Amino acid sequence: MFNPPAWPVMDASDLQLILEADPRALRGPMSRRFAKAFSDFTQAPYVIPVANGTVSLELILKALGIGPGDEVILPPYTFIATFSSIAYTGALPVFADIEPDTYNLSPLQTEEKITDHTRAIVAVAVAGRPFDLDAFEALSQQYGIPLIVDAAQAVGAEFCGRSIASYGAAASFSCQNTKNLTSGEGGIITTKDPVLYEKLQSLLDQEPGPCLGEVPCALLLSQLSRLPAQMEKRSAAADYLNAHLADSHLVRPLDRDERITRDAHHLYVLRTRTEELAAAGFSREDLLKDAHQMGLPLLAGYQPLYALPSVRSEMTRRLTGRQTDLTPLPVCEKASYQEGLWLEQFFLLSEIKELDEILEIFGTLERRYFS
């Protein structure tokens, strides 16, 4: 089995900061130190550490006054929390399809789903790759609907030289254990809007449960100091793999977008060349199975949210008073069931020798399928 580097990276410096934290304090000095460091890192003026990247979305939606009777547009190609945070407010989640070349929410499909009841758009930087933030900010302005950036996977990402944390009404990050900046569990809200910031603070005054404790804040502070170097390493590894897979008959990397000045690479995403594979009598499922047998744990990625039993359940209808439209969306269907392939972020922290081993597995399978 191919062994990626251990994750997370930790040493005595993490312990040092943890020992400085007072576990009895809430929103104390460590929380403030981390918020300041994250604000410096992202240039987002207001930063609130919270318990996770689900409650962060829910808090943002609530602070924007979103609740029963409202509609919120989201992609179906994301983690369930994007959906459930909307449903928990009582608003109706409305799915719009994704783009075939990025797997991120499509601005055109989103515009088609806007109604008189739409109160927010939650767009997700899937895999840590910023979506078309220009197009979504324009849409948000044109229709007067706030954009919420679900940057759960995209810590450190930049679009047109600007941190993803500075876009939209607010951005939401997850620091759960697989994420590129982790405290085991945790989340971060960023906003440039002082009024929204005050509303978020007063929600936390009323109910401080979702605040992030001092010990995880200490861990985030020490982990943040490693993030820039890790980001460089992931980017270099992704570029290396992309360059070597450019002519592959099995897979193709996601399309490049020059406006993405820093991709967070939470996941390394490839698209199966389904037509070429089918012509040779193979499918993505063969590729997944054979890669696993050769020791490379490629993942199939997300199922569409509208296909998940929890989304289709009576519970959603009870929370929102209406049933979300569960009609399959064609681009998401293809990404989920035929094309998408993922490697988790820690593979991108590998050395060139290990990256070459990954490429060798793709090379061997290509020779096997097309000989």
User: Where along the sequence are the contacts to ligand PLP (CB under 6 A)?
Assistant: 52-54, 78-79, 81-82, 124, 150, 152-153, 174, 176, 187
Shortest distance in whole angstroms from residue 326 CB to ligand PLP = 20
What is the per-residue DSSP string for 323-367? PPP----HHHHHIIIIIEEEEEGGGGGS-HHHHHHHHHHHHHHHH
Shortest distance in whole angstroms from residue 209 CB to ligand PLP = 14
Q: Which residue is nearest to ligand PLP (CB)?
A: 53
Cβ closer to ligand PLP: 129 or 199?
129
Shortest distance in whole angstroms from residue 24 CB to ligand PLP = 24
Peptide bond into 4 cis (omega under 30): no
d(Cα 37, Cα 316) in Å, to the nearest integer?
38
Say which residue the tokens 């191919």 belong to: 2
Shortest distance in whole angstroms from residue 103 CB to ligand PLP = 12
In the chain, where does DSSP find H-type helix? 12-20, 29-42, 55-63, 80-88, 107-112, 133-143, 194-206, 214-245, 274-279, 284-293, 309-312, 314-320, 330-334, 352-370
What is the per-residue DSSP string for 172-202? EEE--TTSSS-SSS-EEEEES-HHHHHHHHH
Cβ closer to ligand PLP: 224 or 359?
224
Q: What are phi and psi of 87, to 5 degrees?
A: -60, -35
Task: Tell me the three state secondary structure of residue 310.
Answer: helix
As given in the structure block, the two tokens for residue 77 are: 């190609």
Shortest distance in whole angstroms from residue 79 CB to ligand PLP = 4
CB burial of residue 167 (10 Å; 0-12, 13-18, 19+): buried
Cβ closer to ligand PLP: 93 or 187?
187
Shortest distance in whole angstroms from residue 370 CB to ligand PLP = 35
Task: Tell me the three state secondary structure of residue 88.
Answer: helix
Cβ closer to ligand PLP: 54 or 230?
54
Cβ closer to ligand PLP: 153 or 324?
153
Report which DSSP code applies to 163.
E
Cβ closer to ligand PLP: 254 or 287?
254
Cβ closer to ligand PLP: 153 or 320?
153
Shortest distance in whole angstroms from residue 124 CB to ligand PLP = 5
